[in-house]
Structure 1
Amino acid sequence: MKPKVFIDGEAGTTGLQIAARLKARDDLELLSIDEVKRKDANARGAIMKKADAVILCLPDDAARLAVSLVENPNTVIIDASTAHRTSPGWVYGFPEMDKGQRAAIAASSRISNPGCYPTGFIALVRPLIVSGLVPHDWPLTVNAVSGYSGGGKPMIAEFEERQTEDNYRIYAMGQTHKHPPEMKKHAGLAQMPLFMPAVGRFAQGMIIEVPLTLWALPKKPKRAALHAQLKATYAGERFVKVVPLGEGDVMKTLGAEGCNETNRLELYVFGTDEQARLVARLDNLGKGASGAAVQNLNIALGLDEGAGLEG
């Protein structure tokens, strides 16, 4: 019998992307709810009883409520909101983060999908913290830009309907964004990084940068050592590519949209042995949201991890 999957919040940006990835598959049965009942808790709860897995594409408070509607503790819940990313009892859905992470995802029925910015930051920083190349209490800065689809339907309308003439703008200036606690916990930091996000006039794609002044670090690591650690960490991974130093060194620019429509996460180490720019590029709606949810679903249900995904 095929596993039954219900997307709660299918009409949203992430939900639509997940549904598109699942509808073409013949190894799953996708459950749907009548449009007029999509906010009816009783109707949603009834469908969840039939589902082997529920993917939540909802605001935080609505996601917490939805979890309470799932009566069977064995029903897999994958929450794409920020509601449970640092919560006890929830497994962080970044399979490549640690050697044991896939097994933890496969064994859990409560999986929190990572944020798009944290995915790139954690992928770059965690291996360097774990290896000791960067101290866990080192002050880190995250410079990042995402396509406007990351803001959901209101921001999509704002840019596509020319409600704003901004081509690039910064936000979260008050350092109260939801992502830093997630970054701190899963990267293994002693304090939260300084988060400096921005949005540009392009729909999908993103770049996350972490600058490192190598000469100031206690171990004074060379750029090649950082790259070697990242390469060793992600060796053999299907969706994470550590770009060779030589390939990166001949690049003059790097656009934010190069991984669009894929589940690929590219990592770069630019710069010199004195100053390095760690860079991650991904699709904010792919590995940063819907692609990650599908990858976690596949692992949790014991299916081919890459089913429905483009590398």
Structure 2
Amino acid sequence: MPKDADLPPVIVAAHVSKTYGDRRALDDVSFEVHAGEIFGVLGRNGAGKSTLLESIVGLRRLTSGEVRVFGVDPARDRRAVTSRVSVQPQAAALPERLTVLEILRLFASLHRRPRRIFDVIDLIGLAEQDAVAVRDLSGGQLRRLLLGVALIGNPELVVLDEPSAGLDPAARRGLQDIVRSLAAHGVTVLYSTHDLTEATDLCDRVAILHDGALAAVDRPDELVRQSSTVSSIAFTAPAGSGFGWLRLRASVTSLTVEAVDGGERVLVTTDDPDAVLRAVIERPGLRTWAYDVRRGSLEDVFLAVIGDGMSEGQAS
């Protein structure tokens, strides 16, 4: 169940469609996002992600359907929405000669009740760079500063459009920690990403867009469970253990054995991993170790949804 599902949803998208001439960017998209939820938006380039995010923050008027953010139409009631919502776009220009502290002071002055500047600096991990000019920040530090700009107004909903693009693993992990901290304090996060591993680790639920339509929406683990009918089991055993008996089981799709240091590595694909595991563990006289059980991934779900081509999480 989504976080705070008993409260009114923060975002309601109902039968949202958007066309540009003959091209349909969004096609009858419906979902809800709840308070304190990290909600991921996934899809290939051109799938409709940016149009959807822009519609949610009121920058695009819909062809049909409706969006409600905190109960109001974001395109018609801009003032009510902008006081509670903040956006970090994929790219933004900041005055290069201003320091981190000066940038945050500038943007804090635009809000009625901004967060404490040094609290934001601590949150985004730039305490040691507060006197550094924008032009001298690394790519990861600049991304953190852009996030700080998005947070300085103390928003209740934060929309992040591919915030981790181009970040190294350490910077990406730091960004994810900030997002989790926001959600833990009740802030709702709408998070667009091409990184499917990141979406799996970070998001409470994800929506997958394909050709403008909502192809799937649920928790990452639930999407994997629903779509994955075959699991893989790997384990190590002493050389010459013999697994012809296991290959004959009806639930075993395939079985391969590869020689490794200290024995042999066995890889089994099966539609009943629990039964196979019990059979191996309970086999008299058989010693096994180093188990690894996998039941697909969000990337598998994504590839199944889009039908063909490489997932963007793999490509980025």
> What TM-score, normalized to structure 2?
0.26
Higher helix content, 1 or 2: 1
Rg (Cα) greater in structure: 2
> What TM-score, normalized to structure 1?
0.27
